[in-house]
Structure 1
Amino acid sequence: MTTYRGVVARTGRLSRPAEPEDRTAVSADHVAGAPPGTATGRELGRIYRSRPRRDWNFTENLSSSSNASPYTRDTSDHRLIISASSLVMLMVGSIGFAAQAPVARTVGLVFYVLIGLGGAPWVLARSMRLPTRLAMTALTTLCVPTFVGTVMLQTRAWHPATAFVALAVVTVPLHVLGCRIAVRDRRSTRGRANPPGADRLVRLRRSLVRLARKHVNLSLLLSLGGGAICLVAALTHRHTDPGLWGFLPVIGPLWYAGLLLVLLSFAVSRASSDASVAIAVLILVLILTGTPALVYDGPRSQSASKHVDFVQQIRTVHQMNTTVAVYSAWPGYFAAMAWVSDIAGIRDPMRLAQAWPVLLGFFRLCALRFLAGTVLKSRTTAWVAVALAVLADPIGADYFSPQSVGFVLGLLIVAIALSHYDSRMKVVALTGAGCALATSHQLSPYIVGGTMCILAVFRQIRPWWLPATVLAPAVAWAASHWSALKEFVYFGEVGNAKNFRPPATATAPGLERLVVVDLTVWALVGGILILGATAAAVVYRRRRGIEVWALACAPISGLLVIAVNPYGQEGIFRATLFGLPWLALLAAQSFRSMSANRPNVALVAILAVLSTTFLVASFGMDAANVIRPTDRQAFHQFRSTPMPPGSVGYLLMLGPGDLPSSPPTEDLTHLSVERETVEPPGAVPPVETATARSRRLTKAIVAYSRRDGRPARIFALWSPTSSVYGWEYGLERPETFARLREALRTMPGWSVRYEAGGTVLFEYHQPRRRSAAPR
C-alpha cells in the first residue's frame, strides 16, 4: 500500500516517515478508479486536506473501544502510564505537602507540573503516537507555567497555589478519563490475544515473552549496562571540586567503559527495533547531563546564580527588582520557575538549577525526535539524527536560563510548522508557543521565525504566512518594551563583520593560555566541521532535491539575525546552536542502512569521535564554569549585610572571570565592582609586589566609593574560581593571585568576614579622620 507520506517525497516536500508517528497516513488506494501507487501528487494532496484530523479531536470515539485502530491499541499503554503516573505523583506531592515532607512534595509536584499538566490535553488523543505525544507534552509544559507566571507577575497578583489548584481541577479529570479509556482499549486488545478463560499467570507470561522478543536484544542490554556503570561511577565521585579538565581526569575508567558500551549499542542496533536505539539515545543524554549534576556541587554556569536570584526576587517581592530593564521586560522564564518553586516547595532554586540540564535534556530529546520524525522517513534514522545533534552540541546552552527554553521551544515550533496538521490547529499551537517565547527571550523568536521564513521560501511550510505566528508576538512585545531594549540595539553595527566574532580575552604580557583553552575551542569547531562535512556529502548526493536544500539553508537564519545584532558577541554561539539540528538531520541520512547481519561501524566511529569532541569542549573549562557553593555563600554574606539609610556597599572582585553575582537592585545599596573598573588597562606596573598591589587596589576602591558622596562600606572577594580563570587564559599566575590574598590578610584596615573552601570575603574598615586640634 502506498501512503501519502511515502509519495510526498517525490513532490518536492520534505520526506515523511513511511510508518507515521500518528494516524495521518492516507492510502493511495482511496483514489477512486486508480490502482495503488498511481495517484498524482495533486490528488493525494486533495485527499490529505479532506481527511479528518483525528489527532486533534479529543472526543474521538471516547465512549466506544470497538472502533480502536491499530494506532489506538499501540498507544494505550503509553496513555495509561502517563495519566496513572501523573495522578500518583500528584497524590504523593499532596501527601508530602500535608505531612510537611519536603522531598515527597518536591518530587511529586515537580513531576506533575512537568508531565501531568503538559500531558493532560493529549491523553484523550487516542491515535497520537509516543514521540508526538511527548513532544506536545513538552510544548504544553514549557508554555503553561510561562503564561501563568507572567500573568501573575504582570498583574501583581501572585497567588501560586490558587493557580495550581485551578489547573489541577481541569487536568485531573482529563487524566482520570484518560486512564479509563486506556484501560478499556488495553482490555479489548488483550482480550482478543488471550481468551477470557485463560489463566492470569499464563497471560502475564505470554505478554512478557512477546515484550522480550520484540524489544530485548543485545543493543538494549549494552545501553542499559553502560548507563548503570556510568551511574555507579558518578555516584562514587560526588562533591568533586572541578580542576583543569573538569571531572574528566578523576571520574575513572569505569565511567568511560560505560559510555563506550552505550556507543557500541548503536553498532548492533537494527532498523526493525527502533526502541533499542531510542533507549540508547536517552541513556546517552542522561549520562552527559546527569554526570555533572551528580559529581559537582553547583551548576555549570556562573550565570545560573543570577537567574536564581531573579526567581527569588519574584517569590519574595513579586516583581523583578533590578536596574537592568531588559530582564524585567522579558520575565517569562523567571516567573515560570518562581511559580514551580513555590508550588513544589523548593526553598533554594539552586538545586533546581543544578538538575535543570537533566530535565531540559529530556524535553530537548522529545523536541529533536519530533522534528526528526517530521522530516525523515525512518524512525531509526530519526533517532540517529537526535544522537548526532546531541553530541555535536557542546555549547552548553542547557543551563538554568531563558535561552535553554527558547531553544527547545524553537525546535517544537518549527516541527509543528513542518507537520501535516490542520492549518487552524497549527496557528493555535504556534501562536501560543510564539507568545511564550516572545515573553522569555529577546533573540530566539527571530531566529526561529527566520528559519520558518526560509523553509516557507522552499515551500516546505504551508501556508506561507505561518512564520507570522511567531514573529508577530515577538515584534509586538519588543515594541511595547522598546525603552528597555533600545540601549542594546545599534543600527550602526548592522552588517559589521565583527558581529560574528566570539568574545575575546587578551593575555597578560609574558603569559600564555593553557592548552586546555585551545583544545576546547578546537574540539567545538572540530565536532561542528565533522557534522557539517557529513551533511555536505548528503547534500551533494541529493542536490537535485529541493527538500535537501531547504534543510541546508535553514541554519542561515541565525547568521542573518547576528548580522543585525551581535547579542553581546555571543550571538554566533546562538546561531550555531540553532543550526546544528539541521546539519544533524542531513548527516543522519548517511547512516540509514542498519543491516541485520553486519554492525554499523561507520555510525559508531562518528559517534565516538563526536563524543570525544563533546567531552573536551563541554567539560574542559569546568574549573572556571562551575559555581562553587563557597563563592555563592560569600556573595550572599555581602548582600545580606544591612546598609544604613543613604549608604552603599561595594564588593571588589579581586580576580578575573565570572562569579555568582547578580545585577544591582533598584535601591543601589549593594554594588559589585570589577577589578578592571578601578584598575584601567595600563595602570598596573610591570613589576609590583603583592603588598604594593594591595595598597594600590585599596586606594583605588576607596576613591571609587567616594565618587557619589554617599557613605560606603567596602568588601573584596578572593575566589579560587578567579584564580583558575586567570591561569587558564594567561591573565595571572595562581601563585601571584594567592600572594595578593595573603597581603590583604596582613594589611591594616582589612579583615576576613567569611572564609571557606578557599573563598575569602574581606571587609575594609576605613580609618576615621582625625579631628583638628583645638586652638
Structure 2
Amino acid sequence: MNPDAGPLGRVVLALCAVAVLLIGVAGRAAGWPVATVLLATYLNFGPGLAVALFGRMPWHRLVLLAVTVSQAVLVAVSFPFAWTGAVRITALWPVLAVVSGGLMLLAVRGDLRLLAAGRARWPRPSRDLAPTALALLGLGICLFAAWRVAGPAQPMGAAITAGPLWFVGAAVVLAAVVWSMLGGSVSGTGRLAGPALIASSVVVTSQFVMYRMPTVGVAARHLGIVDLLQARGYLSPETDIYQTWAGLFTSTAFVFEVAGVTSPFEYAAIWGTVAAPVMVLAVRTLAGRFVISRRAWVAGLVFALASSLTTSFYAPQVVGFVYALMILTLLIGRPPARHPWTDPSLLLATALCVALTVTHQISPFLLAFALGALAVFRLVRPVWLPLIPMLLAGGWAWLNLGVLQRYLPTGASFGRIFDNLAPPSRAASPYPVSIVNQVTFGVPAAALLLVGCFAVLTVLRLRTRLAIGLTAAAASPALLAVGTDYGQEGIFRVTLFALPWLAILVSLWPMPTRVRVRTPARIALGLALVVMFAANTIGLTGMDWSRVIRRSDVAAVTYFENNAPPGSLAFTLGTGAATPSRITRHYETVGFLGRETLFPADPFGQTGGPDYDPAADVDRTTDALLLTDAPQYWAIATTTTGIFGDRYGQQRLADYERLRAAWAASPRWELVFSDGDVQLYRYRGERA
C-alpha cells in the first residue's frame, strides 16, 4: 500500500510553496539575504510541484516528480534563450512565478473543499516514525562532529577527521536502519523510508558541513560556464561540448540570476548534498514498479551504500541519471492508452526526454538501452518506446556533429569492450599508486561486486521473466563500451546505470513477514549494513585530501582568470587534473597546462629521485612553456596538485614541495598573488 499525501498534506505543501515564493520575491526586492535561499529552493522544487499536485501519488513519488519536473521546466525557460541569445535567460521569470503559483492553488482546490467540509484531518502519529527520529538523532550527531572541525580537507578524509563522535552518530543511523528493517510487515511503507534516505546522505552532508565546497574538482569548470552565461547571456556551442549539452548550466544561471546567488561554489556543494538522497529516491520509485514498497526501499538503500564509486556532485550526469529513472518510472507499468497523445505519462516522459537530451550526452542512450532490454522481456510496452530517447538524442547529436566529432573516439576503440571498461589511468606514473588510493577505489568496487553476486544468485533462484528482464536491463549499459570509453569514465557510467537494477534484484531475496527474526539473522543483517556503510564511507571520503576543492585554489585561479590578458596560459607545476580551472566568465579566453600537456612523452620522469634538481626543473619547464603561443605565462603552485600527484604515483609530495621552493626562488618568476598554501606567479621576461 502506498498512501498519497492526503488532502491536508497537499494543501499544506502548496501553501508553503506559495508562501516561500511570495516571501522570496518580496525579500529579493528588499535585499534580505534569506530571499536567496527561499527563491533557490522554490525554483528547484516549486514549478514541478505545481505539476505533481494534479495527480494522486505517494509522498516519495510526489517529491521526486516535483524535483525532476522543476529541473525540466528550468531548462525549458532558459535553454532556448541561452542558445539563441535573443533575450536574457530570466525573461520568463515573472511568467513562471505567476503560472506555477497559480497552478499549485488550482491543483488543491478540491482538497480545500474537503477541508472546508471537515472531511480531512491530520493523520495520527505512527510508531513507524520512531526509527526515522532515531536516524535524525544520529545524523545530528554526525553533523555536529563535522562542524567542530570544519575547514579544508585533511589527509584521512571527512569521517576520520570528524573523530569518534562521528562514528557514534553513524552507528545510531545504522541502528535505526536495522530497527526499521526488522519491524513491521513486508508490505509496510513508513518505517524504512526515513532511515534509508538519512543513511544515504549522512556522509555527503557531513562533507558539506565540514568543507562547504564541492567534493569533485570538475564542478569548478561547470560553474565557469554558468558565470559565462550570466555575464554574456548566451552560449557558444561551437566552443566545446559543455556549451552544447548545457541544460544544467542554463538552468543554474537562471537560478543564480533570479535568486541572487553570490556563492556559486557553496550552492554547488549543497546541490551535490541534496542530489545523493534524490538519486536514492529515484531508485526507490523505479523499484516500486516491480516490487512492494518495503522491498523498494531496500533497493534504494542497497543503491545508496553501493554507489560511492560515482559520487553525487554538481554535474550533468547526476541530473541525467535522475531524469532517466523518472522517465523509466513513468513508462513502466502504465495502463495502455488508445492513442499515445492522450497518455499523460507518455507525454510527460517525452518532455523529460527533451530536457535530458540537451543536458547530458550519453544518458539518453543508456536510457534507450534499458528500455530496449525491458521491452524484449515485455516489461514495458509498446516496443517502440526506446525510440523516443534514441531519436531525440541522436537528432541533437547530428545537429551538433561539428562540435561532437572532436570528442568522438577513434576507430581503434570500437569493439574493445574490456579496454573501454578499464578504470581510468593517469599518465606515466613512475611511482606506485598510494595505498589510500587503492583502498578508496578497491573497497567500494568489492562491495559493488558483492551486490552483483547477490543479484546473480537471485536470478538463479527465481528464474522468472521479471528477474531475467531486470538482469538484461542491468547489462544494457555495457553497450556503451562497444563504441567508446567515454574519456576513461565509461566504467563509472556503466556501473551507475546498472546498479539500480542490481539493487532491485537484491531486494527480491526472501524477507520475514513478521517481527520474529532470530538473533543470528539480526546480527548478520547488522554486520552486512556495517560493511556496506564502511565501504560507502571509504569510497566517498578516502580521497578528500586530493579531491575536495579548496577555497585558496579558487581564489588563485579567479585572480589569474580576471587579470591575465586573453590567451594567457597558467602552468600548474604538476598534473593538470587537480587544479580547478576555467571557473569564471573568462572561461573561453584563458588556458591551463599540466605536465601531461607540456611534456606528453615523459611528464613525470624527471620530477623526483636522488638526482632530482628542482632548480633545473624550473628552467626546463619554463623554457618549454615559452615555446607555446601566449601573451603571458603564469604558474600556480598549490598543495592540492602535490597531494593529487602523490596519491596517483606521479610525483612525490616532498619533491613537489622542493619544486615549489625552487619556483619561488627563481628570478624568472615573480609572485603576484598568495592565499594560504597557494602561490600564483607571473613570468618576468618576454616570450622568446
TM tier, shorter chain?
A: over 0.9
Is contact 2:298–2:507 with CA below 8 Å preserved after alignment?
yes
**C-alpha distance in 1 between matches for 2:304 and 2:487:** 25
Report what 1:677 is aligned to.
Answer: 597
The alignment yields a C-alpha RMSD, in angstroms, of 2.4
Matches of residues 92-171 of structure 1 in structure 2 within 5 Å?
Answer: 92-102=23-33, 104-125=34-55, 127-171=56-100
Name which of 209, 217, 221 aligns with 1:294: 209
Aligned-pair CA distance for 1:495: 0.6
Name which of 214, 224, 228 aligns with 2:140: 228
Report what 2:447 is aligned to.
Answer: 527
Matches of residues 324-343 of structure 1 in structure 2 within 5 Å?
Answer: 324-343=239-258
Report what 2:227 is aligned to.
Answer: 312
Report what 1:85 is aligned to.
Answer: 16
Aligned-pair CA distance for 1:214: 4.5
Could you give the per-residue CA deviations for residues 180-213 of structure 1, whole angstroms, max 9, x where no partner exists?
Answer: 432433465657x8xxxxxxxxxxxxx6xx7334
Could you give the per-residue CA deviations for residues 254-292 of structure 1, whole angstroms, max 9, x where no partner exists?
Answer: 111111111112222223453221111122233122111
Matches of residues 211-290 of structure 1 in structure 2 within 5 Å?
Answer: 211-217=124-130, 219-239=131-151, 241-269=152-180, 270-272=183-185, 273-290=188-205
Structure 1 residues 189 and 255: alpha-carbon distance in aligned structure 2, compared to 1, 3 A threshold: farther
**C-alpha distance in 2 between matches for 1:604 and 1:324:** 52
Is contact 1:648–1:669 with CA below 8 Å preserved after alignment?
yes
Please state whether the residue corresponding to 1:753 is helix, strand or coil: strand
Structure 1 residues 344 and 633: alpha-carbon distance in aligned structure 2, compared to 1, 3 A threshold: same
Report what 2:683 is aligned to.
Answer: 764
- Amino acid paired to 2:194: I
Please state whether the residue corresponding to 2:313 is helix, strand or coil: coil
Please state whether the residue corresponding to 1:487 is helix, strand or coil: coil
Structure 1 residues 457 and 676: alpha-carbon distance in aligned structure 2, compared to 1, 3 A threshold: same
**C-alpha distance in 2 between matches for 1:607 and 1:591:** 17
**C-alpha distance in 1 between matches for 2:260 and 2:399:** 34
Is contact 1:86–1:112 with CA below 8 Å preserved after alignment?
yes
**C-alpha distance in 2 between matches for 1:591 and 1:229:** 34
**C-alpha distance in 1 between matches for 2:71 and 2:237:** 25
Name which of 491, 515, 518 aligns with 1:572: 491
Please state whether the residue corresponding to 2:672 is helix, strand or coil: strand
Structure 1 residues 739 and 321: alpha-carbon distance in aligned structure 2, compared to 1, 3 A threshold: farther
Could you give the per-residue CA deviations for residues 28-53 of structure 1, whole angstroms, max 9, x where no partner exists?
Answer: xxxxxxxxxxxxxxxxxxxxxxxxxx
- Amino acid paired to 1:244: P
Name which of 160, 174, 181 aligns with 2:103: 174
Matches of residues 588-599 of structure 1 in structure 2 within 5 Å?
Answer: 588-590=507-509, 592-593=511-512, 595-598=514-517
Name which of 257, 280, 284 aligns with 1:365: 280
Structure 1 residues 488 and 648: alpha-carbon distance in aligned structure 2, compared to 1, 3 A threshold: closer
Structure 1 residues 453 and 322: alpha-carbon distance in aligned structure 2, compared to 1, 3 A threshold: closer
Is contact 1:500–1:566 with CA below 8 Å preserved after alignment?
yes
Matches of residues 255-654 of structure 1 in structure 2 within 5 Å?
Answer: 255-269=166-180, 270-272=183-185, 273-321=188-236, 324-377=239-292, 379-423=293-337, 424-489=343-408, 490-496=410-416, 497-505=418-426, 508-509=429-430, 511-543=431-463, 545-590=464-509, 592-593=511-512, 595-598=514-517, 601=522, 602-643=524-565, 648-654=567-573
Is contact 1:329–1:481 with CA below 8 Å preserved after alignment?
yes
Matches of residues 740-759 of structure 1 in structure 2 within 5 Å?
Answer: 740-759=659-678
Find out whether 1:695 has 2:607 as its counterpart: no
Please state whether the residue corresponding to 2:425 is helix, strand or coil: coil
Structure 1 residues 682 and 94: alpha-carbon distance in aligned structure 2, compared to 1, 3 A threshold: closer
What is the TM-score normalised by the length of structure 1? 0.82
Aligned-pair CA distance for 1:718: 0.8
Higher gyration radius (CA):
1
Structure 1 residues 322 and 418: alpha-carbon distance in aligned structure 2, compared to 1, 3 A threshold: closer
Structure 1 residues 464 and 623: alpha-carbon distance in aligned structure 2, compared to 1, 3 A threshold: same
Could you give the per-residue CA deviations for residues 591-643 of structure 1, whole angstroms, max 9, x where no partner exists?
Answer: 53263233762433322211111111121111111111111111111111152
- Amino acid paired to 1:640: N
Structure 1 residues 744 and 371: alpha-carbon distance in aligned structure 2, compared to 1, 3 A threshold: same
Structure 1 residues 189 and 264: alpha-carbon distance in aligned structure 2, compared to 1, 3 A threshold: farther
Structure 1 residues 721 and 641: alpha-carbon distance in aligned structure 2, compared to 1, 3 A threshold: same
- Amino acid paired to 2:32: A
Structure 2: which 5+ residue stretches go unaligned? 338-342
Could you give the per-residue CA deviations for residues 476-515 of structure 1, whole angstroms, max 9, x where no partner exists?
Answer: 1111111111222234422113211121126644x32221
- Amino acid paired to 2:535: T
Could you give the per-residue CA deviations for residues 66-98 of structure 1, whole angstroms, max 9, x where no partner exists?
Answer: xxxxx67x6223312320210111122012112
- Amino acid paired to 1:630: S
Structure 1 residues 79 and 663: alpha-carbon distance in aligned structure 2, compared to 1, 3 A threshold: closer
Is contact 1:323–1:665 with CA below 8 Å preserved after alignment?
no
- More deviation, 334-343/352-361: 352-361
Is contact 2:421–2:491 with CA below 8 Å preserved after alignment?
yes
Structure 1 residues 759 and 297: alpha-carbon distance in aligned structure 2, compared to 1, 3 A threshold: farther
- Amino acid paired to 1:690: P
What is the TM-score normalised by the length of structure 2? 0.92
Matches of residues 704-715 of structure 1 in structure 2 within 5 Å?
Answer: 704-705=628-629, 712-715=631-634
Is contact 2:280–2:301 with CA below 8 Å preserved after alignment?
no
Aligned-pair CA distance for 1:666: 9.5
**C-alpha distance in 2 between matches for 1:716 and 1:181:** 64
Structure 1 residues 420 and 592: alpha-carbon distance in aligned structure 2, compared to 1, 3 A threshold: farther
Aligned-pair CA distance for 1:719: 0.8
- Amino acid paired to 1:457: V
Aligned-pair CA distance for 1:334: 0.9
Aligned-pair CA distance for 1:524: 2.0
Please state whether the residue corresponding to 1:566 is helix, strand or coil: coil
**C-alpha distance in 1 between matches for 2:303 and 2:12:** 28
Structure 1 residues 594 and 731: alpha-carbon distance in aligned structure 2, compared to 1, 3 A threshold: farther
Is contact 1:160–1:343 with CA below 8 Å preserved after alignment?
no
Is contact 1:266–1:603 with CA below 8 Å preserved after alignment?
no
**C-alpha distance in 1 between matches for 2:585 and 2:6:** 51
- Amino acid paired to 2:72: C
Could you give the per-residue CA deviations for residues 90-140 of structure 1, whole angstroms, max 9, x where no partner exists?
Answer: 1220121121113x2112112211221111023233x32223322321231
Determine what percentage of the aligned residue pairs are the same residue: 27
Structure 1 residues 642 and 493: alpha-carbon distance in aligned structure 2, compared to 1, 3 A threshold: closer
After TM superposition, where is structure 1 displaced by more than 6 Å over at least 4 residues in a row? 663-668
Aligned-pair CA distance for 1:145: 0.7
Aligned-pair CA distance for 1:237: 2.3
Aligned-pair CA distance for 1:232: 1.6
Please state whether the residue corresponding to 2:671 is helix, strand or coil: strand
Report what 2:340 is aligned to.
Answer: none
- Amino acid paired to 1:547: L
Structure 1 residues 410 and 322: alpha-carbon distance in aligned structure 2, compared to 1, 3 A threshold: closer
**C-alpha distance in 2 between matches for 1:92 and 1:667:** 35
Is contact 1:364–1:408 with CA below 8 Å preserved after alignment?
yes
Structure 1 residues 507 and 488: alpha-carbon distance in aligned structure 2, compared to 1, 3 A threshold: closer
**C-alpha distance in 1 between matches for 2:95 and 2:589:** 39
Aligned-pair CA distance for 1:667: 10
Report what 1:16 is aligned to.
Answer: none
Could you give the per-residue CA deviations for residues 376-432 of structure 1, whole angstroms, max 9, x where no partner exists?
Answer: 02x111111111111100023421111110011111111112132454223212211
- More deviation, 417-426/326-335: 417-426
